[in-house]
Amino acid sequence: MPIINVTLTRGRTPEQLRSLVHELTLGAHRAVDAPIESVRVILHEVEPTHFAAGDVTIEERRKAAQ
């Protein structure tokens, strides 16, 4: 049973999150021939101030881009 964990910042619509779950499920099914009903997808949404790369949070990066 494939388990796919995804961490992303908050701010996406329910439709976008649903689409992500769908595409990841199909991708696992195609890649490893896992039955669709056995694929597990877990989405972890974090605040943009709690997610950083290169010592810059996503929130800081967004503000700098504006």
Told to judge if 2 belongs to the known catalytic residues of this protein, a careful annotator would answer yes
Residues 1/41, Cβ–Cβ less than 8 Å? no
Catalytic residue among 2, 14, 35, 48: 2
**Bridge partners (DSSP) listed for residue 4:** 41
Residues annotated as catalytic are 2
